[in-house]
Chains A and B, each alone.
Chain A
Amino acid sequence: MVTRSPAVNRPRSIGRSVPKKDAAAKVTGAALYVDDLSPEGLLHGATVRSEIPAGRITRIEFDSAFDWSQVTIVDHRDIPGNNCIALIEYDQPALVENEIRHADEPILLLAHPDREKLQQALRAVKVHCEPLEAVLTMERSIACARLVHATDNVQKRFLIQRGDLEAGFARAHKIVEREYRVGHQEHLYIENNGVIARMEADGSLVVEGSLQCPYYVHKALMHLMGLPAEKVRVVQTVTGGGFGGKEEYPSMISAHAALLARKSGRPVKLIYDRMEDIAATTKRHPAIVRHRSGVTEEGELVAQDIDVIMDGGAYVTLSPVVLSRGILHAGGPYRCPNVRITGRAVATNTPPNGAFRGFGAPQTLFAAELHMDHLAESLGMDPLEIRRRNLYRLGDVTPTGQVLRESVSASECLEKAVKVSGYVKRRKALDAANRKALARPAGKGPRKVRGIGLSLVHHGAGFTGSGEVKLASIASLDLSPEGRPRALAASTEIGQGTVTIFSQMIGDALQVSHDLVEVAQPDTLRVPNSGPTVASRTCMVVGGLLSQAAADMRARLLEFDPRGWSDDRSFRKLALRHLKERGALRIDRQYQPPSGIEWNDDTYTGDAYGVFAWACNVIEVEVDLDTGDARPVEVVTANDVGKAIHPRLAEGQIEGGVSQALGWAILEELRWKDGRVWNQQLTNYIIPTSMDCPPMKVIVVENPYSGGPFGAKGVGELPMDGPAPAVVAAVRHATGQWMDEIPISPERLLEKLARLEEALT
């Protein structure tokens, strides 16, 4: 008898919201995060950091009154390999040797068995410096106020060109030119960065901790410690949020813990407190984006000239790739025959900015969407209408010359969100209500106005261009000793649902339940390099590899015993028999690029992404005219993710991303004082509470992608892209004020409103 068809056997797991697999341990407190581990003989580590943004170290003073005998002290001379955090470039030192390039840069490391003594030791070190002129803004960097990087302070440049810009502008009925600005954003995962490092007797190094990309850390540690690959082991512990903030930074903190462990010969735990985490780790890149575009009288976009500047901070880190994604999304989801997009990442004496959900796209899409509203206004056209006329449809061509061949849902997302939110009616109704409210004089009670705004965005799925090909990721599936299918992948569960969706995909392909599937803890000793957990690629790319591996495993097991299995029990029986009779069964699958995808890194032309995900956000905002507070009161968000493997988890990603974007748009502002982050606490870096977040209506659109497993395109970053411009559009609708810079702080908004009022009276 051959195997029975799974479709007949049991409901498939894909598309069903099964209980989240890692949640059981999280709701009982059993899940162990890095700070919950206390290996024998543990030392606590701490970092001595620069207090100034730029300077040279002249002397380091250790207070002689303090008992240093039990303190392990590490400086750059203790680094056995290269003093750098290996990433794209090798310019960032693990520990400052002489020149300080940003505030809170690591200089010395200390370890002690007692945490309180360690704190005292920190206070007993004094770093004497000779300050240098600090370049703290993008403007000063471009002006080369002082050279921080290379010969022009530019870390990376890009140019995208298509069509004939001059001819485009010549056709334009209106030309609108504006500048948009977005600020830093802190990830604010609730679990701070932390790792534990130890040296094994055989001289190998083990680091376990809160991180997204085990193999990034692995590579960095090999260079730093001068160790071969097999002597470095990186293990991910349960991770309390990442959002990109634990993409590249863990390489730094792991390097520090490793150096302390090596010197002390004991395990060292290095956990940041909130102030250190906010002050020293990466942030979303601030950006200045300038648009000059032309539209015809009918609202057809005919020319876009866009210049993007991002603040890379003191070292290159990931800025080139962030900038790349930024410029690739800078035009917005609109067809335009004549485009020029230039991009620069510039160096400043601030902590390096890094990966953050959306990875450059939220910054440029903010500008693109607002600019679309400005264009509409210049024509007296509704923002909805101008989008309808220009949005990408099947067969359209992007600025890099990519032909959109499949899964194009800009229109579907737009129309669905517009319909569910009742945008058109609501906009008219609010117009009338606001006229009344604005006519009411101050002193007659609270004055509040409401507005509704929308935005349309796209998000390239997976790595840019040839990124996936270069990575050549591998994911594996084997049989555990208990006869369960076991996924071996470096993709990390950071709350988003990796473990659950992998189990669903493998379970369905093998025709067993998702519960039977095990997902191995990411550990570089045991799992292959399936690339980093970034770019919304976990489901689409790694999930795809695992699905293929599962299909292979199914074929192999059927070959072993053609009678197959009918349920989990019979699968395990067969698997155990296979293990006994034939030995281990392990399938490795390596990424193969889908056919017909071409990308040229030199000319920046071709298929930037295999496919795009799409989203439309309609947001209603209430503005308190007495305080300038803008408060989102309702969100309708339609997101095309290709296929929602687990609908509730997909919704959770969207709801979480939207609220993070609302925080960025309204509340979250990094303040600086003398080149250091001033608001280092949760009481002054303000993220939304449950009272600040509005109810949301999430519409999941499923327009499948042929290159993704079950059609999935990824969902992690897309929801971060659209809310901010929709909020600004809503504030404009409510108050008549354009807020071209975010966050729309009450201070800025009320200032604008008051000026207007003063001018009127």
Chain B
Amino acid sequence: MRAALSRLRVVREPNLAMTARALEESAEGPRPLVPMAGGTDLFVYLNAGALPEQDYLDLWHLDELRGVIDTPGGVRIHALETFANLRRDPLVKRRYPALAEASSWVGARQIQNRATIAGNIANGSPAGDSLPVLLALDARIRLVRFSAPRDVGFDTFYTGYRTSVRHPSELIHSILLPWPLPGTRQYFRKVGTRLAQAISKVVIATTITVQKGRVTRARIALGSVAATVVRVPSAEDALLGEKLTPAAASEAARRLRESIHPIDDIRSTAAHRLRVAGRLVELAVADALR
């Protein structure tokens, strides 16, 4: 049941400033504009007839929203960077291998050429492949509106299932990934419905920092186990101050299984997700040991 695509309106402004203004102005009116990037999620919904009729604000032509830039505070990835770019970007590959890895697991080539990092964030699916990585890397999201930009920690970005602190008048401008601390090992693993072109059953990203043999900082982030992507502080705490041992790993896994409450859905079962999530934490720790 396809939506009536020929009736849909698209607003396209020549630059970012005017785009932001159009968005902000519309947000107060009866028909707020919906930002559109590569369309890989949007058109799935439209093709299934799953969206109300709304007007779209095209971002795709805005080169101001493209680029991967290194800054003193870390790397800034602009909103429209596609996963095809991120998986082969030298800087991303070197400093954020987990993100490059995650990008290579998004859909397949055709999707990676069009799907953007901001689209993944804005769509807000708890199964979004890049999202646990952003959590584990302490990403900060820069939101802009015509009047003022603001930065939001990604760990506070989502407020519930597909809802976020982003106001309808705001655009995702870029993502800042702080420089990883020395001694940090990044890990990413997607357990999907098949080996490619898959949606995850469980997806994990971790960063584990070890100094002088002890864990000084740990981030364990998971997708597809809750209404949003989540970090699991209790499991992170289990590693802090510890040596990386199988015992520490299994303690982290145990705590993780206690603190997450996945559900049965069309792709997997709660029990399976719980089990796999625990194993993935152990694998992440084992990987950091290497």
Chain A positions near chain B (C-beta within 8 angstroms): 115-116, 119-120, 122-123, 273, 275, 441-446, 626-629, 631, 667, 671, 678-679, 681, 683-684, 686, 688-692, 746-747, 750-751, 754
State whether A441 and B246 are in contact (beta carbons under 8 Å apart), knowing that A119-B1, A689-B108 are contacts in the complex. yes
Can you add 20 more A-B contacts, CB < 8 Å, to A115-B2, A679-B266? A116-B7, A119-B2, A119-B4, A275-B1, A443-B247, A444-B246, A445-B290, A626-B279, A626-B280, A626-B283, A629-B191, A667-B193, A690-B196, A691-B194, A691-B195, A747-B268, A747-B271, A750-B276, A751-B272, A754-B275
- Chain B residue with Cβ nearest A748: B272
B287 at the interface (CB under 8 A from A): yes
A382 to chain B, nearest CB (A): 31
Within 8 A of A (CB), among B149-166: none
Q: Is the interface of A mostly helix, strand, loop or mixed?
A: loop
B249 at the interface (CB under 8 A from A): yes
Bound CA span A273–B49, Å: 12
The 5 closest A-B pairs by CB, nearest first: A443-B246, A691-B195, A626-B279, A116-B4, A691-B196
The answer to whether A123 and B1 have CB atoms under 8 Å apart is yes
Point out the residues of chain A lying under 8 angstroms from B197, CB to CB.
689
Most buried by A among B2, B249, B271, B276: B276
Point out the residues of chain A lying under 8 angstroms from B267, CB to CB.
684
Bound CA span A545–B86, Å: 59
B233 to chain A, nearest CB (A): 21
Specify which of A628, A690, A692 is in contact with B272 (CB 8 Å cutoff): A628
Bound CA span A459–B250, Å: 50
Bound CA span A441–B253, Å: 14
Number of A-B contacts (CB under 8 A): 94
The answer to whether A445 and B286 have CB atoms under 8 Å apart is yes
Most buried by B among A122, A444, A631, A679: A444
Point out the residues of chain B lying under 8 angstroms from A273, CB to CB.
1-2
Pairs A–B under 8 Å by Cβ, sample size 8: A116-B7, A119-B3, A445-B290, A627-B191, A667-B193, A667-B194, A746-B268, A747-B272
The answer to whether B276 and A446 have CB atoms under 8 Å apart is no
Specify which of B1, B48, B195, B282 is in contact with A442 (CB 8 Å cutoff): B282
B222 to chain A, nearest CB (A): 14
Bound CA span A441–B245, Å: 12
A461 to chain B, nearest CB (A): 34
Bound CA span A119–B253, Å: 49
State whether A751 and B286 are in contact (beta carbons under 8 Å apart), knowing that A442-B250, A626-B280 are contacts in the complex. no
B130 to chain A, nearest CB (A): 18
B5 at the interface (CB under 8 A from A): yes
The answer to whether B49 and A678 have CB atoms under 8 Å apart is no
A625 to chain B, nearest CB (A): 8
B118 at the interface (CB under 8 A from A): no
State whether A692 and B282 are in contact (beta carbons under 8 Å apart), knowing that A116-B5, A122-B1, A750-B272 are contacts in the complex. no
Point out the residues of chain A lying under 8 angstroms from B44, CB to CB.
683
The answer to whether A692 and B194 have CB atoms under 8 Å apart is yes
Q: Please encode chain B, from 189 to 212, with 1 for each CB lying within 8 Å of some chain A CB and 0 for all others.
A: 001011111110100000000000
B6 at the interface (CB under 8 A from A): yes
Bound CA span A209–B266, Å: 33
A216 to chain B, nearest CB (A): 29
B285 at the interface (CB under 8 A from A): yes
The answer to whether A671 and B194 have CB atoms under 8 Å apart is no
A616 to chain B, nearest CB (A): 27
Bound CA span A116–B53, Å: 13
Bound CA span A442–B252, Å: 13
Point out the residues of chain B lying under 8 angstroms from A444, CB to CB.
246, 286
Bound CA span A448–B49, Å: 42
- Chain A residue with Cβ nearest B290: A445
Point out the residues of chain B lying under 8 angstroms from A115, CB to CB.
2
Point out the residues of chain A lying under 8 angstroms from B4, CB to CB.
116, 119-120
Bound CA span A686–B285, Å: 31
B110 at the interface (CB under 8 A from A): no
Within 8 A of A (CB), among B239-290: 246-247, 249-250, 253, 266-269, 271-272, 275-276, 279-280, 282-283, 285-287, 290
The answer to whether A116 and B195 have CB atoms under 8 Å apart is no
State whether A683 and B199 are in contact (beta carbons under 8 Å apart), knowing that A445-B287, A692-B194 are contacts in the complex. yes
Point out the residues of chain A lying under 8 angstroms from B193, CB to CB.
667, 684, 686
Point out the residues of chain A lying under 8 angstroms from B285, CB to CB.
443
A329 to chain B, nearest CB (A): 30
Specify which of B7, B201, B283 is in contact with A446 (CB 8 Å cutoff): B283
Bound CA span A671–B279, Å: 26
Point out the residues of chain B lying under 8 angstroms from A683, CB to CB.
44, 199
Point out the residues of chain B lying under 8 angstroms from A667, CB to CB.
193-194
State whether A684 and B1 are in contact (beta carbons under 8 Å apart), knowing that A626-B276, A750-B275 are contacts in the complex. no
Bound CA span A209–B249, Å: 59
Bound CA span A551–B275, Å: 66
Bound CA span A681–B290, Å: 40
The answer to whether A443 and B250 have CB atoms under 8 Å apart is yes
Bound CA span A667–B108, Å: 18
Point out the residues of chain B lying under 8 angstroms from A120, CB to CB.
4
The answer to whether A631 and B283 have CB atoms under 8 Å apart is no
The answer to whether B286 and A688 have CB atoms under 8 Å apart is no
The answer to whether A692 and B6 have CB atoms under 8 Å apart is no
- Chain B residue with Cβ nearest A624: B191
Bound CA span A640–B269, Å: 41
B29 to chain A, nearest CB (A): 25
Point out the residues of chain A lying under 8 angstroms from B48, CB to CB.
275, 681
Bound CA span A684–B282, Å: 28
State whether A692 and B195 are in contact (beta carbons under 8 Å apart), knowing that A443-B246, A443-B249, A746-B272 are contacts in the complex. yes
The answer to whether A116 and B2 have CB atoms under 8 Å apart is yes
Point out the residues of chain B lying under 8 angstroms from A441, CB to CB.
246
B170 to chain A, nearest CB (A): 29
